[in-house]
Protein backbone atom coordinates (compact mmCIF):
# COMPACT_ATOMS: atom_id res chain seq x y z
CA UNK A 1 0.00 0.00 0.00
CA UNK A 2 1.29 3.47 -0.89
CA UNK A 3 0.20 6.50 1.11
CA UNK A 4 0.38 9.94 -0.50
CA UNK A 5 0.14 13.04 1.67
CA UNK A 6 -0.76 16.33 0.04
CA UNK A 7 0.91 18.91 2.27
CA UNK A 8 -1.02 22.17 2.42
CA UNK A 9 0.80 25.46 2.06
CA UNK A 10 -0.45 28.36 4.13
CA UNK A 11 -0.09 32.05 3.41
CA UNK A 12 0.07 34.64 6.17
CA UNK A 13 -1.98 37.77 5.47
CA UNK A 14 -0.10 39.84 8.01
CA UNK A 15 2.06 42.34 6.09
CA UNK A 16 4.72 42.36 8.82
CA UNK A 17 5.20 38.58 8.60
CA UNK A 18 8.71 37.65 7.37
CA UNK A 19 7.75 34.09 6.46
CA UNK A 20 4.73 34.85 4.29
CA UNK A 21 4.15 31.19 3.34
CA UNK A 22 4.73 27.96 5.21
CA UNK A 23 3.69 24.33 4.85
CA UNK A 24 2.25 21.80 7.22
CA UNK A 25 4.81 20.36 9.65
CA UNK A 26 4.79 16.77 10.81
CA UNK A 27 7.43 14.32 12.05
CA UNK A 28 6.63 12.22 8.99
CA UNK A 29 8.56 14.67 6.79
CA UNK A 30 10.88 17.64 7.16
CA UNK A 31 9.60 21.14 6.31
CA UNK A 32 9.15 21.60 2.54
CA UNK A 33 10.32 18.02 1.99
CA UNK A 34 8.91 16.13 -0.98
CA UNK A 35 9.73 12.71 0.44
CA UNK A 36 8.93 11.31 3.86
CA UNK A 37 11.68 10.24 6.25
CA UNK A 38 10.72 6.61 5.63
CA UNK A 39 11.05 7.06 1.86
CA UNK A 40 14.46 8.70 2.24
CA UNK A 41 15.71 5.96 4.55
CA UNK A 42 14.40 3.34 2.15
CA UNK A 43 16.14 5.01 -0.81
CA UNK A 44 19.45 5.26 1.06
CA UNK A 45 19.23 1.58 2.03
CA UNK A 46 18.50 0.55 -1.55
CA UNK A 47 21.50 2.51 -2.87
CA UNK A 48 23.76 1.16 -0.13
CA UNK A 49 22.87 -2.50 -0.17
CA UNK A 50 21.39 -3.25 -3.59
CA UNK A 51 22.57 -2.78 -7.15
CA UNK A 52 20.19 -0.07 -8.26
CA UNK A 53 20.30 3.32 -9.95
CA UNK A 54 18.89 6.58 -8.61
CA UNK A 55 16.69 6.85 -11.70
CA UNK A 56 15.11 3.48 -10.86
CA UNK A 57 14.38 4.63 -7.31
CA UNK A 58 12.86 7.84 -8.64
CA UNK A 59 10.59 5.81 -10.90
CA UNK A 60 9.50 3.60 -7.99
CA UNK A 61 8.70 6.62 -5.84
CA UNK A 62 6.98 8.48 -8.67
CA UNK A 63 9.24 11.53 -8.45
CA UNK A 64 12.09 13.08 -10.43
CA UNK A 65 15.77 12.05 -10.20
CA UNK A 66 16.67 15.37 -8.58
CA UNK A 67 14.03 14.89 -5.89
CA UNK A 68 15.54 11.58 -4.79
CA UNK A 69 19.17 12.68 -4.96
CA UNK A 70 18.62 16.02 -3.20
CA UNK A 71 17.00 14.10 -0.35
CA UNK A 72 19.63 11.35 -0.18
CA UNK A 73 22.82 13.42 -0.59
CA UNK A 74 22.51 15.34 2.73
CA UNK A 75 22.06 12.06 4.59
CA UNK A 76 25.29 10.67 3.10
CA UNK A 77 27.17 13.90 3.81
CA UNK A 78 25.96 13.85 7.39
CA UNK A 79 27.34 10.35 7.96
CA UNK A 80 30.64 11.25 6.31
CA UNK A 81 30.99 14.22 8.67
CA UNK A 82 30.82 11.98 11.76
CA UNK A 83 33.85 12.59 13.96
CA UNK A 84 34.45 8.91 14.69
CA UNK A 85 34.27 7.69 11.08
CA UNK A 86 38.07 7.48 10.77
CA UNK A 87 38.71 6.31 14.32
CA UNK A 88 40.71 3.13 14.80
CA UNK A 89 42.28 3.03 11.33
CA UNK A 90 45.74 1.45 11.58
CA UNK A 91 46.21 0.11 8.03
CA UNK A 92 45.66 1.87 4.71
CA UNK A 93 45.43 0.76 1.11
CA UNK A 94 45.60 2.96 -1.95
CA UNK A 95 44.95 2.47 -5.64
CA UNK A 96 43.72 4.45 -8.61
CA UNK A 97 40.85 3.90 -11.03
CA UNK A 98 39.12 5.80 -13.82
CA UNK A 99 35.81 7.35 -12.85
CA UNK A 100 35.04 8.97 -16.21
CA UNK A 101 36.30 7.86 -19.62
CA UNK A 102 36.13 11.22 -21.37
CA UNK A 103 38.55 14.10 -21.79
CA UNK A 104 42.34 14.04 -22.16
CA UNK A 105 44.19 10.96 -20.87
CA UNK A 106 44.60 10.97 -17.11
CA UNK A 107 41.90 13.56 -16.37
CA UNK A 108 39.44 10.89 -15.23
CA UNK A 109 41.75 9.24 -12.69
CA UNK A 110 40.96 9.26 -8.97
CA UNK A 111 42.86 7.88 -5.99
CA UNK A 112 40.93 5.67 -3.60
CA UNK A 113 42.01 5.37 0.04
CA UNK A 114 40.79 2.21 1.78
CA UNK A 115 40.78 1.08 5.42
CA UNK A 116 42.57 -2.27 5.83
CA UNK A 117 42.41 -2.48 9.62
CA UNK A 118 41.77 -5.95 11.00
CA UNK A 119 38.58 -6.66 12.91
CA UNK A 120 38.13 -8.64 16.11
CA UNK A 121 38.32 -11.88 14.10
CA UNK A 122 41.76 -10.90 12.79
CA UNK A 123 40.59 -10.53 9.20
CA UNK A 124 41.21 -7.26 7.36
CA UNK A 125 38.19 -5.20 6.42
CA UNK A 126 37.78 -3.24 3.23
CA UNK A 127 36.16 0.16 3.79
CA UNK A 128 36.45 3.06 1.40
CA UNK A 129 37.56 6.14 3.31
CA UNK A 130 37.65 8.69 0.51
CA UNK A 131 38.18 9.42 -3.17
CA UNK A 132 40.43 12.27 -4.31
CA UNK A 133 40.93 13.51 -7.88
CA UNK A 134 44.17 12.60 -9.65
CA UNK A 135 46.85 9.92 -9.38
CA UNK A 136 49.95 11.47 -7.90
CA UNK A 137 51.96 11.77 -4.72
CA UNK A 138 50.38 15.18 -4.13
CA UNK A 139 46.83 13.80 -4.30
CA UNK A 140 47.59 11.14 -1.69
CA UNK A 141 49.80 13.37 0.47
CA UNK A 142 47.27 16.22 0.57
CA UNK A 143 44.57 13.84 1.81
CA UNK A 144 46.85 12.57 4.58
CA UNK A 145 47.78 16.15 5.56
CA UNK A 146 44.11 17.01 6.03
CA UNK A 147 43.74 14.29 8.67
CA UNK A 148 44.49 15.07 12.31
CA UNK A 149 47.62 14.02 14.17
CA UNK A 150 45.82 11.20 15.97
CA UNK A 151 44.84 9.57 12.69
CA UNK A 152 48.33 9.86 11.18
CA UNK A 153 49.94 8.46 14.32
CA UNK A 154 47.55 5.49 14.31
CA UNK A 155 48.41 4.28 10.80
CA UNK A 156 51.04 1.53 11.10
CA UNK A 157 50.77 -0.25 7.71
CA UNK A 158 50.19 1.13 4.22
CA UNK A 159 49.77 -1.22 1.26
CA UNK A 160 50.31 0.03 -2.29
CA UNK A 161 51.09 -1.06 -5.83
CA UNK A 162 54.55 -0.33 -7.36
CA UNK A 163 53.87 3.37 -8.00
CA UNK A 164 56.61 5.70 -6.77
CA UNK A 165 54.18 8.60 -6.31
CA UNK A 166 52.20 6.86 -3.57
CA UNK A 167 55.42 5.66 -1.93
CA UNK A 168 56.73 9.24 -1.83
CA UNK A 169 53.52 10.45 -0.18
CA UNK A 170 53.87 7.77 2.51
CA UNK A 171 57.53 8.61 3.13
CA UNK A 172 56.73 12.32 3.44
CA UNK A 173 53.54 12.16 5.52
CA UNK A 174 53.51 8.75 7.23
CA UNK A 175 57.18 8.05 7.84
CA UNK A 176 56.36 5.84 10.85
CA UNK A 177 54.10 3.57 8.79
CA UNK A 178 55.43 0.43 7.08
CA UNK A 179 54.89 0.43 3.31
CA UNK A 180 53.95 -2.99 1.92
CA UNK A 181 54.20 -3.81 -1.78
CA UNK A 182 51.04 -5.56 -2.90
CA UNK A 183 51.54 -9.31 -3.54
CA UNK A 184 49.19 -9.41 -6.53
CA UNK A 185 51.11 -6.71 -8.39
CA UNK A 186 54.47 -8.36 -7.67
CA UNK A 187 53.29 -11.72 -9.00
CA UNK A 188 51.81 -9.92 -11.99
CA UNK A 189 55.23 -8.40 -12.72
CA UNK A 190 56.73 -11.88 -12.68
CA UNK A 191 54.08 -13.23 -15.06
CA UNK A 192 54.59 -10.25 -17.38
CA UNK A 193 58.35 -10.93 -17.44
CA UNK A 194 57.71 -14.52 -18.58
CA UNK A 195 55.42 -13.24 -21.35
CA UNK A 196 58.11 -10.81 -22.48
CA UNK A 197 60.71 -13.58 -22.63
CA UNK A 198 58.35 -15.84 -24.57
CA UNK A 199 57.61 -13.15 -27.15
CA UNK A 200 61.30 -12.28 -27.58
CA UNK A 201 62.38 -15.89 -28.04
CA UNK A 202 59.46 -16.42 -30.43
CA UNK A 203 60.67 -13.55 -32.62
CA UNK A 204 64.33 -14.59 -32.42
CA UNK A 205 63.69 -18.21 -33.39
CA UNK A 206 60.82 -17.98 -35.90
CA UNK A 207 60.94 -14.33 -36.96
CA UNK A 208 57.24 -13.65 -36.43
CA UNK A 209 54.64 -13.27 -33.74
CA UNK A 210 53.17 -16.38 -32.21
CA UNK A 211 50.46 -18.15 -34.16
CA UNK A 212 48.64 -21.48 -34.11
CA UNK A 213 51.05 -24.38 -34.23
CA UNK A 214 54.03 -22.55 -32.69
CA UNK A 215 55.26 -24.39 -29.56
CA UNK A 216 55.64 -21.32 -27.36
CA UNK A 217 52.38 -19.78 -28.52
CA UNK A 218 50.56 -22.99 -27.62
CA UNK A 219 51.62 -22.81 -23.96
CA UNK A 220 51.11 -19.06 -23.45
CA UNK A 221 48.17 -19.58 -21.06
CA UNK A 222 49.83 -22.45 -19.18
CA UNK A 223 52.81 -20.20 -18.46
CA UNK A 224 50.52 -17.84 -16.57
CA UNK A 225 49.23 -20.55 -14.22
CA UNK A 226 50.79 -21.69 -10.96
CA UNK A 227 52.63 -24.96 -11.25
CA UNK A 228 50.71 -26.43 -8.32
CA UNK A 229 47.53 -26.18 -10.40
CA UNK A 230 48.82 -27.80 -13.58
CA UNK A 231 47.45 -31.14 -14.68
CA UNK A 232 49.68 -33.95 -15.92
CA UNK A 233 48.71 -33.13 -19.50
CA UNK A 234 49.63 -29.47 -19.07
CA UNK A 235 53.00 -30.39 -17.55
CA UNK A 236 53.68 -32.67 -20.51
CA UNK A 237 52.86 -29.85 -22.92
CA UNK A 238 55.22 -27.51 -21.06
CA UNK A 239 58.07 -30.03 -21.12
CA UNK A 240 57.52 -30.74 -24.81
CA UNK A 241 57.52 -27.02 -25.72
CA UNK A 242 60.68 -26.36 -23.68
CA UNK A 243 62.47 -29.28 -25.38
CA UNK A 244 61.50 -28.28 -28.93
CA UNK A 245 64.45 -25.92 -29.38
CA UNK A 246 67.55 -25.16 -27.38
CA UNK A 247 66.67 -21.45 -27.28
CA UNK A 248 63.49 -22.24 -25.34
CA UNK A 249 65.55 -22.79 -22.21
CA UNK A 250 65.28 -19.04 -21.55
CA UNK A 251 61.51 -19.33 -21.32
CA UNK A 252 61.84 -22.32 -19.01
CA UNK A 253 64.24 -20.51 -16.68
CA UNK A 254 62.02 -17.39 -16.66
CA UNK A 255 58.99 -19.53 -15.83
CA UNK A 256 60.77 -21.21 -12.92
CA UNK A 257 61.87 -17.77 -11.67
CA UNK A 258 58.28 -16.50 -11.70
CA UNK A 259 57.15 -19.66 -9.90
CA UNK A 260 59.81 -19.10 -7.26
CA UNK A 261 58.38 -15.63 -6.70
CA UNK A 262 54.91 -17.15 -6.25
CA UNK A 263 56.30 -19.76 -3.87
CA UNK A 264 57.53 -17.02 -1.55
CA UNK A 265 53.98 -15.70 -1.18
CA UNK A 266 52.30 -19.11 -1.05
CA UNK A 267 54.51 -20.69 1.57
CA UNK A 268 52.42 -21.33 4.71
CA UNK A 269 55.34 -20.41 6.96
CA UNK A 270 56.19 -16.70 7.00
CA UNK A 271 59.82 -17.31 7.96
CA UNK A 272 60.40 -19.74 5.10
CA UNK A 273 58.56 -17.47 2.69
CA UNK A 274 60.82 -14.60 3.73
CA UNK A 275 63.89 -16.76 3.02
CA UNK A 276 62.64 -17.50 -0.49
CA UNK A 277 62.03 -13.78 -1.05
CA UNK A 278 65.60 -13.03 0.05
CA UNK A 279 66.89 -15.58 -2.48
CA UNK A 280 64.82 -13.87 -5.16
CA UNK A 281 66.45 -10.53 -4.37
CA UNK A 282 69.91 -12.11 -4.47
CA UNK A 283 69.54 -14.10 -7.70
CA UNK A 284 67.19 -12.17 -9.99
CA UNK A 285 69.35 -9.04 -10.61
CA UNK A 286 72.28 -11.17 -11.86
CA UNK A 287 70.17 -13.44 -14.04
CA UNK A 288 71.46 -13.61 -17.67
CA UNK A 289 67.89 -13.29 -18.94
CA UNK A 290 67.38 -9.51 -19.29
CA UNK A 291 63.68 -9.52 -18.41
CA UNK A 292 64.26 -11.38 -15.14
CA UNK A 293 67.25 -9.16 -14.32
CA UNK A 294 65.06 -6.09 -14.86
CA UNK A 295 62.45 -7.57 -12.52
CA UNK A 296 65.18 -8.20 -9.96
CA UNK A 297 66.33 -4.59 -10.13
CA UNK A 298 62.75 -3.39 -9.66
CA UNK A 299 62.28 -5.57 -6.59
CA UNK A 300 65.63 -4.40 -5.22
CA UNK A 301 64.48 -0.78 -5.48
CA UNK A 302 61.37 -1.77 -3.50
CA UNK A 303 63.29 -4.11 -1.19
CA UNK A 304 61.91 -2.87 2.14
CA UNK A 305 58.31 -2.68 0.90
CA UNK A 306 58.68 -6.08 -0.84
CA UNK A 307 59.95 -7.88 2.27
CA UNK A 308 57.44 -6.10 4.54
CA UNK A 309 54.76 -8.55 3.37
CA UNK A 310 56.24 -11.28 5.57
CA UNK A 311 56.83 -8.94 8.51
CA UNK A 312 53.26 -7.60 8.68
CA UNK A 313 51.25 -10.81 8.66
CA UNK A 314 50.65 -10.93 4.88
CA UNK A 315 49.32 -7.39 4.52
CA UNK A 316 48.24 -6.67 0.95
CA UNK A 317 46.14 -4.33 -1.15
CA UNK A 318 43.49 -6.98 -1.82
CA UNK A 319 40.81 -5.08 0.07
CA UNK A 320 41.35 -2.09 -2.20
CA UNK A 321 40.84 -4.26 -5.28
CA UNK A 322 37.61 -5.57 -3.74
CA UNK A 323 36.39 -2.00 -3.26
CA UNK A 324 37.31 -1.22 -6.88
CA UNK A 325 35.11 -4.13 -7.93
CA UNK A 326 32.13 -2.62 -6.10
CA UNK A 327 32.84 0.75 -7.69
CA UNK A 328 33.02 -0.67 -11.21
CA UNK A 329 29.70 -2.47 -10.71
CA UNK A 330 28.03 0.74 -9.53
CA UNK A 331 29.46 2.66 -12.50
CA UNK A 332 28.02 0.14 -14.95
CA UNK A 333 24.60 0.21 -13.32
CA UNK A 334 24.54 4.02 -13.43
CA UNK A 335 25.72 4.02 -17.08
CA UNK A 336 28.55 6.31 -16.04
CA UNK A 337 28.76 9.58 -14.12
CA UNK A 338 29.23 13.20 -15.18
CA UNK A 339 29.35 14.92 -11.77
CA UNK A 340 32.36 14.03 -9.61
CA UNK A 341 30.79 15.13 -6.31
CA UNK A 342 27.77 12.90 -6.91
CA UNK A 343 30.08 10.06 -7.92
CA UNK A 344 32.14 10.38 -4.75
CA UNK A 345 29.07 10.33 -2.50
CA UNK A 346 27.60 7.31 -4.29
CA UNK A 347 30.81 5.29 -4.00
CA UNK A 348 31.30 6.19 -0.34
CA UNK A 349 27.74 5.11 0.39
CA UNK A 350 28.25 1.79 -1.41
CA UNK A 351 31.74 0.90 -0.14
CA UNK A 352 32.34 3.24 2.79
CA UNK A 353 30.84 1.06 5.51
CA UNK A 354 28.34 3.76 6.51
CA UNK A 355 25.70 2.89 9.09
CA UNK A 356 22.39 1.70 7.63
CA UNK A 357 19.39 3.92 8.27
CA UNK A 358 16.39 2.67 10.22
CA UNK A 359 13.10 3.95 8.77
CA UNK A 360 11.04 5.71 11.43
- One pLDDT digit (tens) per residue for the chain, 360 residues: 777 778 788 899 998 998 898 888 788 887 778 888 889 999 999 999 888 999 999 999 999 999 999 999 999 999 998 888 898 899 999 999 999 988 888 789 999 999 999 877 777 788 999 999 999 999 999 999 999 999 999 999 999 999 999 999 999 999 889 999 999 999 999 999 999 999 999 999 999 988 888 999 999 999 999 999 999 999 999 999 999 999 999 999 999 999 999 999 999 999 999 999 999 999 999 999 999 999 999 999 999 999 999 999 899 999 999 999 999 999 999 988 999 999 999 999 999 988 766 554
Q: Classify the C-alpha dihedral 169-174-175-177 as positive or negative.
A: negative
**pLDDT in the model for residue 28:** 82
The whole-angstrom separation of Cα 215 and Cα 247 is 12
DSSP for 148-215, written as a single string: -HHHHHH--EEEE-S-HHHHHHHHHH-TTSEEEE-HHHHHHHHHHHHHHHHHHHHHHHHSS---TT-H
pLDDT number for residue 359 = 52
* Of the candidates 20, 1, 24, the residue with the CA atom closest to the CA atom of residue 12: 20
Tell me the residue length of the chain. 360
Q: What angle is formed at CA 117 by the lines to CA 114 and CA 121, rounded to 5 degrees?
A: 135
Cβ–Cβ < 8 Å for 94, 111: yes
The pLDDT of residue 31 is 76
| Type and span of the H or E element at 9 | strand 9-11
Can you give the pLDDT at residue 178? 94
Q: In the prediction, which pLDDT does 33 show?
A: 82
pTM of the model: 0.86
Q: Are 9 and 31 in contact (CB under 8 A)?
A: no
Helix (H, G, I), strand (E, B) or coil at 157: strand
pLDDT at 358: 57
Amino acid sequence: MRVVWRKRIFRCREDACEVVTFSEVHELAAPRAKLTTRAIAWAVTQLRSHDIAVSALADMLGVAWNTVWHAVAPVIEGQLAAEDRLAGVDALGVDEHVWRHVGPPGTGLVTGIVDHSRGEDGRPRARLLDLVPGRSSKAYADWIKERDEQFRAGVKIAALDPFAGYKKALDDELDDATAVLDAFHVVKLGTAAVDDVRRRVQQDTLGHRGCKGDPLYGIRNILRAGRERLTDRQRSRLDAAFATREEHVEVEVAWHAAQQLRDAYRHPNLVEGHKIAEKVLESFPSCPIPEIARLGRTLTQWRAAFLAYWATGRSSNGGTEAVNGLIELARRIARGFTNYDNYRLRMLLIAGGLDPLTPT
